[in-house]
Structure 1
Amino acid sequence: MKDFKHPLFDEVIHYKKIGSTMNEANRLIKSQQIAGNFLLIADKQTSGIGRKGNSWFSPNGGIWLTAALYGVSIESSLTIFTGICLHKSLCDTFPQLQTELKIKWPNDIFLRNRKLAGILTNYLQFFKYHLIGIGINSNVDKIPEEISQTAISLKKVLGEEINNEKILKIFFDIFAAELPSFVEGTLDRNYFLRHSFLLGKKIVLDTDFDRFTGIVKGIDKKGALLLELKPGMIQPFLAGTVTKFYL
């Protein structure tokens, strides 16, 4: 993907190997070595980052990137919006999987009850940059034993080589086309609900303050999870980690 370009970005930088594209984006911005919208893509990450500082397995073959958007004012959840766009692009690319691909709040794409892709967003307020990290197990040949029950690879499911550049082009085409309406305050909640992995399920949600158990009822207009803690009592959660769900 070293020659990948997209009109959304002023600059695209490709790395054969890097610790973390998210860390590198932070470094470039804070050292003022880059300007405008930019995209960092790596063939391999040695220190990929997930939510809560968790490591992210990022070998050769997958899609590992950080997109940086400058000067965009965003009120709703950029993570949810990105997840919707990524789900749409994967369904467009692999229509045979569209009934099995699901969006798991707040930041994952699931396939056959296992994680296919993850999203990590961050806002550098002083520099006016939104960062979007995306990892997709596309052409990953082997999932490590320790995560084999929770992660999945497109190549293993379809039994063929995956065109990573095609996935990226379709994703960023959709993202760029829908970004203006999202910035204006429109979050496609109906699409999210139609393809939600957790909707109607009983889950355990850990927040920075407490642990909650309830039934997922959807999301609000800002992307907060709506959790029914007891009959008639629905509470929104803007952040949290789903530590358990019941199929």
Structure 2
Amino acid sequence: MVGKFPAVQARGTLAERTYQALRDGIELGRLLPGERITERALASSLGVSATPVREAIRRLEQERLVERTGPRTVRVSQPTTETLRELAYTEACLRAIAARFATAKISDSEVDQLQQLVDRMEKAAALGETQVVLRLASEFDQTLQDASRNEVIAALAANVTAFGPSRRWRAVNQIVQHDPSTMKKRMDDHRAILDALRDKDADRVEHTVRQHILSATDYFIAVAMPDSQDSPP
């Protein structure tokens, strides 16, 4: 357990920081599905007392990310394929709604920033720099979400995220290796989102964002559950 987590950062309350560290640990794969953990080991690894750990675990239980197995022990939840699909769809819908809201609120400078990111993505793709493309795509998504000016939707989307950043990156890498043309398709999606934003077409923005996110769901599930029968070819 020791060494699984970086030191808890000095931002927000101790309970909030502990919760975020544990949630990140689950999303990033430091804590694996089905892994049993104790409050004492978590407190030692994070360098905090047992009290903020208990508070964090209560929140994670409410989010169904961990399951209580004893008075002081929990297990990281191991969702079914069906649950992952439902979570992925819910997250896609929420992020698409945020993009819809952004359509009416986004500034010209933010649109220009998205344009620059798309241009840089295309240049990186032409050079075969997949990791750079993925990083820029993530920055594009975050900029668009920030433009919604809606913290409630952003928080809801974060709370139903079925796949952490590391699993997403691995999944997209698998997509590109299986069919390189999918990289162009995903960049075309970003271009289509940008065009719809410029046209102030909220329906098109929402639809394109939702489909863009859902298009990689099978690969995300394959990475999260390698033995799944739904693994892509």
TM over 0.5: no
Flag the structure with larger Rg: 2
- Structure (1 or 2) with the greater strand fraction: 1
TM-score, with structure 1 as normaliser? 0.28
TM-score by length of 2: 0.30
Give the number of the structure whose residues are more often helix, by fraction: 2
Task: Flag the structure with more relative contact order, 1 or 2, with Cα contacts below 8 A and sequence separation at least 6.
Answer: 2
